[in-house]
Amino acid sequence: MARSKTSTVGKARKKKSVPQKRRVPTDDDEYMEGGRYTVSGQFQKKQRMMPGENALKEIRKYQKATDLLIRKLPFARLVKEIQTTITTSEFRWQAAACLALQEAAEAHLVGLFEDSNLCAIHGGRITLQVKDMQLARRIRGQQRE
């Protein structure tokens, strides 16, 4: 069988690779994607955290914090919206009343998540699932809504 000549019709030509110029850092763009330039002009990659380290950092941060987790104004709007669905008359809310309600709601939710986390650990898991929340509510004696 005779060999036939290969044609280049319809094929793109290969381009020669040209070496890229090194980027000269400027003062106003100190940080680049995934790293930064040092004073000597060398590119230094951003150090990555170990898996789970960021989560532990967040846990410590929120355990130390004493402030509210939900912002006040959206919570107040939600309270007023729920109040208008329950009653037809217009009520006015004191700031202290909204704050007390928010403190109680956040304390309840944090406690529920703590109990749910214990249920997940008891089940041999570290991921919180819906069934853990349902079990925690059932143990607490709360009715399903």
pLDDT by residue, tens only, the chain of 145 residues: 566 666 666 666 666 776 766 666 665 555 455 677 777 777 777 788 888 899 899 989 988 998 999 999 999 999 999 999 999 888 999 999 999 999 999 999 999 999 999 999 999 999 999 999 999 999 999 876 6
Question: Which residue segments constitute the domains of the chain, with CATH numbers given?
Answer: 68-140 (1.10.20.10)
**Tokens found for residue 9:** 């019709």
Cα–Cα dist 46/102, whole Å: 39
pTM over 0.85: no
Which 8-state DSSP code applies to residue 10?
A: T
Are 100 and 107 spatial neighbours (Cβ–Cβ below 8 Å)? no
